Structure 1
Amino acid sequence: MGGSGVPVVVGLDNGGTSNNATVLTVDGRFLVDGLVESPSEVGTGPEAAIEALARAFDGVLALTGVPPELVRAVGLDTPGPASATGVISSRGSTNFSQPAWRGYDVRGALERRLGLPVVYHNDGNAAALYAHHAHFGAEAMRRSSVSAIVGTGLGGGVVEGGRVIAGAAGMAGELGHVHIPLTGLLAPDQPVPTCACGFAGDTESVASLTAIARNLLPYWLTRFPGHPLAAEPPARAAKLVRSYGERGDELAREIFTQQAMALGRLFTVAANFTDPHAYFVGGGVVEAASEFRDWFLATVREHTVLRAEQAAVATFALVPERDTAGARGVAIAALEALRGAPAPQPVIGD
C-alpha cells in the first residue's frame, strides 16, 4: 500500500484503553479502512502512554507499508479537558486520573518522541472535524458545522471554514456545558439534573451516559415500578437503556426523548450563535439499530428551532464511522497544518 512514495500524515486517536491509528496521504487518501487498535497504557502514566502512542505509530506504518521517512506530520487527539496545545488540565480528567498527568504536555512529549510535528485536538473536536469533511467533501473549506458527540459525557466541536474553532484557552466547542432551557423538557416533578462539572441544567446533565445513570434513570424508574432495569446495578442499568430503547421500551424512549430534546435545544443555541450549515450527532446513542437511530435524529431535528431561511439550507446527519472518526479527524488537521494556509495579514500595523 505504501510503495507509491507519496508523503503521508499519521492520525493517532488516544483513548482510555486503546489507541487507534490511521494514515492519510498528502493527496487525500486514507490507507486504512477500519480500526488499527493497540493498548493505550494511559493508566500506567505519561511515559508509558507516550511509548504506547509511538508503538501505534510504528504499527500503522508497518501495516500500510509506509516507510517512516515519508511521514511529514502527526495528528493526535485525546479525551479532554486539555488546552488547545495539548496540555492536560491541571485538575486532571477521567482518563488521565494520575497526578502525573495534571498539566502534562502530551502533544509536546509525543513530538519530542517521534521527532515530527504533532497537531493536537481533543477527541470531540477530532470527530467533529472528520464528520464535517466526510459530509461536505470538496466544499468542506466553505462550510460550517456543529457536532454533538454523546458518550460518557457530551463532547463536540464547532467547525468554520473546514477548521475547528479552538478558542483562546482551547475550550471552544465544550457543548456539554452549555446551559439549555429545561421548561417542557423535564416532567413536572422531575428534579433539575446536575452535571459532574458542578453545573445544573447543562446539556451534558441530560444528554450523556453519565446523565442516564445520575439523573434520568433514577427518576423514570419511579414512574415505571417493576421495570427490569430496577434489578440491575445502576452503572450496568444505564448501559442497558439503549438496548431497551431499540426494542421500543416505553421507559427507555422517555429517556432518549429527553436526550434528543436537549440536543435540539443545544442546536437551537448554535443556530442563533454560529448559524452552521450542518448539525451532526454522534456517539453511543446513535450506534444502534437503524429504526432507533433514525427516530432519535428526527427527534433532535424536531426540537431544533430554526428560522425558515436556516431550515432551507441546514442539514442534520450522523457522524460517520465513529470508531475511526477521531484518528481520521486529527489526520485531516495535520494535513491542513502541513499545507500551511497563509494567515491573514493585520489591517492596522504597529
Structure 2
Amino acid sequence: MDAADVPVVVGLDNGGTSNNATVLTLHGRFLVDGLVEIPSEVQRGPEAAIEALARALDGVLARTGVRRERVRAVGLDTPGPASATGVISSRGSTNFSQPAWRGFDVRGALERRLGLPVVYHNDGNAAALYAHHVHFGSEAMARSSVAAIVGTGLGGGVVESGRVVAGAAGMAGELGHVHIPLDGVLAPDQPAPVCGCGFAGDAESVASLTAIERSLLPYWLTRYPGHPLAGETPARAARLVRGYGERGDALARAVFAQQAAAIGRLFTIAANFTDPHAYFVGGGVVEAAPEFRDWFLATVRENTTLREEQAAVATFALVPDRDMAGARGVAIAALEALRAGPAPRPVVA
C-alpha cells in the first residue's frame, strides 16, 4: 500500500519553544525516524499555539506523504500541570504563563481546530508510555512500569497494562511531589530542600535542575569553595554541572548521587504501592556519556529497596529517544484509544 493511503495517527509533542510531530500507522510502525520540529508559539497565547500545532500536523504529513484524510486520531502532550482531559491548571505553569492559558482546554481547542479526535497526556506520562512500549514490545499490554523524568522539575508516569494511569483529576503520576525520606540522602548538615510547589522534601526538591540551582549546588560549593563552578551564576552553574559529572568531578558526582538516591527512594515507594515490572529513568540527567549514564542508573538501583521476589522480576532501564519520546508516546496513546473496545459491563448492579 502506498504511504499516502495508510491509515495513521499523529503524535504532537508541545513544548515551551518547539512542537515535535510523528506519524504512526495503525499497524504500529513509525513513519518518522527523527525530530520534525516547528516553533510552538506558546508565548503568543492559546490561539497562536493551536495554529502552530495544526501546522505541525500538516508539516509531518507532508514529510511522510500521508494524506490528511487518512488520519484517524491525534495524540497531544503538553507540559503540566493539566487535567486528564487537557485543561491547563487554573494557576498556569512555567510554559503557559500568560493569564489566557489558565484553565484553557488545549485538547478540546485542538480537536475543534482539526476536526479529529484528540487524546491528551502530559509530557511526563507520554514519555513513560513510550518507554514502556519500547521496552516490553509485544508484552506491553500485560506489564506495568513507573518512570521518573528529570528536567527543570521531576515528571513521570505510572503505566498499568500498557496504559497510563491518569487518576480521577489527571494528577496521578506526579511523582515529583511525592514526599520521600531524606535520611541518608542529604548530608548531616545539609538544609532540607524546598520544592517550587512549596513542599519540603518531595522528590523534585532534590531530583531536578531547579533543585541543583537552588539547593544542591549552593550546599556543595561550600564544601568545594575553590571549584570552577563557584565563579558562575547559579543558573549557568546548574547547567554546567552535568559535564563535570561526566568527567568524574567529585562535587558533581556528589550532587548527582543525591539525585539518584532520591529517585531510588521514590521507586521504593512505588515498589510498595504499584509493584511494577520496570523502573525507567529519563531526562537530561541520563542524556550523557555512557559511563555517567550507567553510573547514575546503577546508583538509582542501589537506593531502591525491593523485596527478594520483586528484585527477581523487576528491571531498571533508561527512557529511550528522549527528544522523540513525547510525540511517540501520545501517538501510541491515540492508537490504543482507537483499538479500545467498549467498557466492560458492571459486575454488580
TM-score between the two structures when normalised by the length of structure 1: 0.99
* Corresponding residue for residue 266 of structure 1: 266
Unpaired runs of at least 5, structure 1? none
* Corresponding residue for residue 152 of structure 1: 152
* Corresponding residue for residue 239 of structure 2: 239
- Tell me the amino acid that sits aligned with residue 47 of structure 2: E
* Corresponding residue for residue 83 of structure 1: 83
The reply to whether residue 62 of structure 1 matches residue 62 of structure 2 is: yes
Say if 1:2 and 1:328 are closer, same or farther in 2 by CA, change over 3 A: farther
Give the whole-Å Cα distance in 2 for the aligned partners of 1:112 and 1:142: 34
Q: C-alpha displacement at 1:14, in angstroms?
A: 0.1
Q: C-alpha displacement at 1:2, in angstroms?
A: 5.6
Q: C-alpha displacement at 1:317, in angstroms?
A: 0.1
Q: Within 5 A, what are the aligned runs for 1:93-172?
A: 93-172=93-172
The reply to whether residue 228 of structure 1 matches residue 228 of structure 2 is: yes
- Tell me the amino acid that sits aligned with residue 12 of structure 1: L
Give the whole-Å Cα distance in 1 for the aligned partners of 2:227 and 2:341: 57
* Corresponding residue for residue 346 of structure 1: 346
Write the deviation string for residues 81-124 of structure 1: whole angstroms up to 9, x where unpaired. 00000000000000000000000000000000000000000000
Give the whole-Å Cα distance in 1 for the aligned partners of 2:2 and 2:293: 37
Write the deviation string for residues 226-273 of structure 1: whole angstroms up to 9, x where unpaired. 110010011000000100000000000000000000000000000000
Q: C-alpha displacement at 1:4, in angstroms?
A: 5.6
User: Does structure 1 conserve the Cα–Cα contact (< 8 Å) formed by 2:3 and 2:64?
Assistant: no
Say if 1:218 and 1:338 are closer, same or farther in 2 by CA, change over 3 A: same
Write the deviation string for residues 61-88 of structure 1: whole angstroms up to 9, x where unpaired. 0000000000000000000000000000
Give the whole-Å Cα distance in 1 for the aligned partners of 2:259 and 2:269: 16
* Corresponding residue for residue 10 of structure 2: 10
* Corresponding residue for residue 320 of structure 2: 320
- Tell me the amino acid that sits aligned with residue 172 of structure 1: A
Tell me the secondary structure at the aligned position of residue 280 of structure 2. strand
- Tell me the amino acid that sits aligned with residue 65 of structure 2: G
Give the whole-Å Cα distance in 2 for the aligned partners of 1:344 and 1:320: 34
Give the whole-Å Cα distance in 2 for the aligned partners of 1:46 and 1:115: 17
Give the whole-Å Cα distance in 1 for the aligned partners of 2:197 and 2:345: 39
- Tell me the amino acid that sits aligned with residue 134 of structure 1: V
- Tell me the amino acid that sits aligned with residue 201 of structure 1: G
* Corresponding residue for residue 335 of structure 1: 335
Say if 1:2 and 1:181 are closer, same or farther in 2 by CA, change over 3 A: farther
Q: How many residues align?
A: 349
Give the whole-Å Cα distance in 2 for the aligned partners of 1:249 and 1:257: 12
- Tell me the amino acid that sits aligned with residue 259 of structure 1: Q
The reply to whether residue 72 of structure 1 matches residue 72 of structure 2 is: yes
Q: What CA RMSD, in Å, does the superposition of the two structures yield over aligned residues?
A: 0.8
Unpaired runs of at least 5, structure 2? none
User: Does structure 2 conserve the Cα–Cα contact (< 8 Å) formed by 1:277 and 1:313?
Assistant: yes
Say if 1:2 and 1:303 are closer, same or farther in 2 by CA, change over 3 A: farther
Give the whole-Å Cα distance in 2 for the aligned partners of 1:148 and 1:313: 19
User: Does structure 2 conserve the Cα–Cα contact (< 8 Å) formed by 1:2 and 1:67?
Assistant: no
Give the whole-Å Cα distance in 2 for the aligned partners of 1:180 and 1:227: 30
Q: Within 5 A, what are the aligned runs for 1:179-194?
A: 179-194=179-194
User: Does structure 1 conserve the Cα–Cα contact (< 8 Å) formed by 2:141 and 2:163?
Assistant: yes
Give the whole-Å Cα distance in 2 for the aligned partners of 1:18 and 1:2: 30
Tell me the secondary structure at the aligned position of residue 253 of structure 2. helix
